[in-house]
Structure 1
Amino acid sequence: MTPRLMHWFLGVRVLVIGLFLGGAIVFQHKGSTGYLWVELRCLYLLVAAAYAQTLVSLLLVRMFGPARWLAQLQIGLDLLFATALIHITGGIESFFASFYILIILSGVLLLSRRDVLIVASAAAILYGGLINLQYYRFIPPVPGLALPLEISGVETLYKLFINISAFLLVGLLGGLLVSRLRLSEHDRQKITIDYEELERLNRAILANMTSGLIIVDRQLCIRSMNAAAEDMLCVVFEHAYHTQLSRYFPDVTLLQDGQFQVVSRGEGWLVDGMGNRRPIGFNTSVLTDPAQAVDGLLITFQDLTNLKEMEERLKRTDRLAAVGQLAAGLAHEIRNPLASISGSVQLLRENEALSPEDRHLMNIVVREADRLNGLLKEFLLFARPSPPHQIWFKASTLIGELADLCTADGRFAALEIQQNSPPGAMIYGDRNQLQQAVWNLLINAAEAMPEGGRLELAYRPLTRQLVVTDSGPGVSEALRQKIYDPFFTTKDHGTGLGLATVHSIVEAHGGTLEHQPGIDGGATFLISLPV
């Protein structure tokens, strides 16, 4: 029982009382004063009492809510009201006996099955008792009401049987109806609760899915998307609604000859609202309406940027390992003959009988042998770096020493060098190897800015990252996948082992080396150490 139902009941009660008693009063007032009608003042008093009791019930509902005891009290008062009405309108001759049936039906709406049966029994008892008391003249007639002097016993018994049977039958049927109504209401509430719970669960799943979901119509116009799709597309749904799917998936074909293409697993490119391209994996499934007609297409997609980068790192690691093994073998095979050549030429160069031209040629041989020996050392450092001896040391010390090296090196003369390291920040790693790795990055940055520029060296303790940022020309998209390859260089005098060596050192520490475009141009390299 709800407050609204109780209010409706009281309102209908006022309407019914007004219709029945108001009609009786009008009929009496026009002069049709048969012997069954009481004086007008009795009806006025009864209507006033009924309306006053309704106002009291409304106040009680506001104070206590739609309590069960309040509904029981109201039905009980209505039974007494109907009994009084039947008494003053002629008892067995009153046509208001049907009021009991209305009261029983009211109980069907407000009370339980047990209470409805009690109401029907109470109506039968009250009506039967009133008629018996009238028949045996135990209650006096209402003043001004003309009653027949004799009432037939058979007629009395017949009316009692008809009315009481009607009351009990309505009560039994009403009780069954109450049970069915309560059961149906319980099932409806359960279904409603289950549906609401399912809807909440569905919203939570869609909101927390990492995969993007997009629903398009038969014209490939976007009709719906989840939060993950909004994040990957860098757009809110209101702006993307009814937009062609090709705006964000230009390379993906999902409609051919008027039919949706069902893709179990495909890859393509996404262009977000900012114009950035990123690789995606996707699959599609057809949506149908209740009539099994094709209604749209569901596209589920994932951002493969991190996966592709991981694949590329694995491929690069495999290439570096293969080249490293080859380089190590060649270095050992070349180093011994090279030492013999260099030593022999140095001995020959000590001969005083050599002509200046021969001595000059021997000096070239010794110099190039030394350069080749240095290259072999780089090969070995790249191919077989020694296991890092990791200790805790201050980040500011490492950055300060590297800044001093930059100041003393002529290649950094035209550069503005900035260093940033929070006081007390500590690094766990091999100090010498990390210094070598960062120094290689600094040299690359300096050689990329021969005309001058800005060079920043920093350490970020929250992410445990050593960062080198320059304002040079940066690394083009075409070269980003090659810069870590051994022997790849864009410089005339480079060996192509600088970044490969950095990558090898960082990998030995269990970290990662990442390149990002600089905010103001240039390039940013991040050495991320494990936590």
Structure 2
Amino acid sequence: MTHATLTYITLSFVVLLLILLYIMRAAFSYRRKKDEEADKDATEVGFVVDAFHGLVTSQKEKERELEILRKQAEERATAIESYNEDILQSVPSGVVSFDRRLTITRMNSAAEKILDLREADSIGMEYHEIFASPIRELLENRETVERIEAGYVTVTGRRIWLGLNMSPLKDSTGAIIGQILVFTDLTELKAFQSQKELRERLSNLGEMSAGIAHELRNPMAVISGYTKILSRKVDETLQPAVEAISKEVSVMDRIIADFLSFARPTELMLTRVDPGSLIEGCVAASDGVLAGIRVVTDYAVLPAIMADEVLLRQTIINLLQNAAESMPDGGVLTIRTLLKDRLSISISDTGHGIPENIQDKIFLPFFTTKERGTGLGLSIVHKVVISHGGSLDLETSSKGTTFVINLPKDVLIET
């Protein structure tokens, strides 16, 4: 092999080696570039994935926060509603709400008790199906009433006095969405005022009537004496006239005696009294006037009381006689006793009832509808009951009358 040939081969080998090195370098560069691009793509995808997961996590946290806020808002709304309901049910005044068509939407427990109603039976009912006059008229006219006092008869027939307020029911924007009726039971207050007024009238009348009665008795005694003299001296034809004068004098004397009894201050002689035995004794003593009348009794178990037995006996007998007189053709006389917040003795008849126009007058002294009555019977009854710290209630209709003697628990000896 020549030197030229050897040189050519060596140069060829070097060129091939350089080409191979170039190719290898190019391949290596290409591979590195590809790896860098792959790493870059992987980094971008990872960033997107991480960003997405971060967004989802943040969204879930926001949802949890919103759920917590929603629950807190619901709890606050429930608490406010419960608080308002507690207030509504706790106030002593009756509250009834109506929608724009005057359909009952709410009624608190005080309203149920005062009006003898049940909310469950009243919700959804129209006003005229539940309420009587004068509440019905107030609702019909949709009047705004700040304060009026009116008598009312409940669905059970109980007569009460109400202090009424009525105004439009408005929402948070001030728009009228119905009516709201607020009322207070004034029955006991009215009874107290009536008793106070009666005490004042009795006091004033007593001072005046005592003097008048004594002045009348003196001439009546003279007339009675002359009548006895006449009865011995006149002939038989005039005897009926003298006897008539004598009877009228006796009637006048009884009226004056009642007058003095009524005018005299009541001094109670308190003793231990068994109410059941007292009532039974009064019924037995009234047996003659109760002829033809069926007597029904419903006695509760009552403890003994401290009271004036004589005056209470007079009171009960007087009421029994009045009941009998209201049933001339017979009927049913019912006597009930009850012990709750007070001791009650009720005497009911099935007579003709007491006309409404005189119900406020029957306890007034000298007011009577009887031809030969003195008008002092119920006045004395009322005075005796008041003297014991009690009250006398009246319930009457065309089907009969009930007088209720209410005595405070203070009179009880044992419970």
State the TM-score, normalized to the length of structure 2.
0.71
1:224 aligns with 2:224: no
Residues 7-22 of structure 1 correspond to what in structure 2 (within 5 A)? none
Cα pair 2:97 2:107 within 8 Å, conserved: no
Aligned residues: percent identity?
Answer: 28
Alignment correspondent of 1:516: 395
1:390 aligns with 2:273: no
Residues of 2 paired with 1:194 and 1:284: CA distance?
30
Root mean square deviation, CA, Å: 4.2
Alignment correspondent of 1:250: 136
Which one-letter code corresponds to 2:212 in the other structure?
A: L
Residues of 2 paired with 1:394 and 1:403: CA distance?
14
Q: Using a 3 Å threshold, how does the CA distance of structure 1 residues 290 and 97 change in structure 2: closer, same or farther?
A: same
Alignment correspondent of 1:414: 292
Q: Secondary structure at the match of 1:412?
A: coil
Which one-letter code corresponds to 1:252 in the other structure?
A: L
Q: Using a 3 Å threshold, how does the CA distance of structure 1 residues 283 and 424 change in structure 2: closer, same or farther?
A: closer
Tell me how far 1:524 sits from its aligned partner. 1.9
2:369 to 477, 480, 490: 490
Residues 336-375 of structure 1 correspond to what in structure 2 (within 5 A)? 336-343=218-225, 345-346=227-228, 348-349=229-230, 354-356=234-236, 361-375=241-255
Alignment correspondent of 1:67: none
Alignment correspondent of 1:10: none
Which one-letter code corresponds to 1:475 in the other structure?
A: I
Of 306-315 and 205-214, more deviation after overlay is shown by: 306-315
Cα pair 2:283 2:317 within 8 Å, conserved: no
Residues of 1 paired with 2:319 and 2:406: CA distance?
14
State the TM-score, normalized to the length of structure 1.
0.58
Residues of 2 paired with 1:261 and 1:448: CA distance?
42
Tell me how far 1:336 sits from its aligned partner. 2.9
Cα pair 2:158 2:395 within 8 Å, conserved: no
Tell me how far 1:420 sits from its aligned partner. 4.9
Tell me how far 1:319 sits from its aligned partner. 4.0
2:183 to 282, 287, 301: 301
Residues of 1 paired with 2:154 and 2:359: CA distance?
22
Alignment correspondent of 1:446: 324
How many residue pairs get aligned? The number is 369
Tell me how far 1:517 sits from its aligned partner. 3.7
Alignment correspondent of 2:81: 199
Residues 133-152 of structure 1 correspond to what in structure 2 (within 5 A)? none
* Unpaired runs of at least 5, structure 1: 1-33, 37-88, 112-176
Cα pair 1:399 1:419 within 8 Å, conserved: no
Which one-letter code corresponds to 1:429 in the other structure?
A: A
Alignment correspondent of 1:434: 312
Cα pair 1:418 1:456 within 8 Å, conserved: yes
Which one-letter code corresponds to 1:416 in the other structure?
A: R
1:380 aligns with 2:260: yes
Tell me how far 1:314 sits from its aligned partner. 4.2
Of 435-444 and 373-382, more deviation after overlay is shown by: 373-382
Tell me how far 1:286 sits from its aligned partner. 4.2
Residues of 2 paired with 1:450 and 1:251: CA distance?
39
Q: Using a 3 Å threshold, how does the CA distance of structure 1 residues 281 and 108 change in structure 2: closer, same or farther?
A: same
1:505 aligns with 2:384: yes
Alignment correspondent of 1:405: 285
Alignment correspondent of 1:281: 163
Tell me how far 1:242 sits from its aligned partner. 7.7
Tell me how far 1:96 sits from its aligned partner. 2.1
Q: Using a 3 Å threshold, how does the CA distance of structure 1 residues 365 and 305 change in structure 2: closer, same or farther?
A: same
Cα pair 1:396 1:425 within 8 Å, conserved: no
Q: Using a 3 Å threshold, how does the CA distance of structure 1 residues 374 and 238 change in structure 2: closer, same or farther?
A: closer
Tell me how far 1:304 sits from its aligned partner. 4.5
Which one-letter code corresponds to 1:224 in the other structure?
A: T
* Unpaired runs of at least 5, structure 2: 1-32, 410-415
Q: Secondary structure at the match of 1:513?
A: strand
Q: Secondary structure at the match of 1:485?
A: coil
Alignment correspondent of 2:353: 474
Residues of 2 paired with 1:413 and 1:517: CA distance?
23
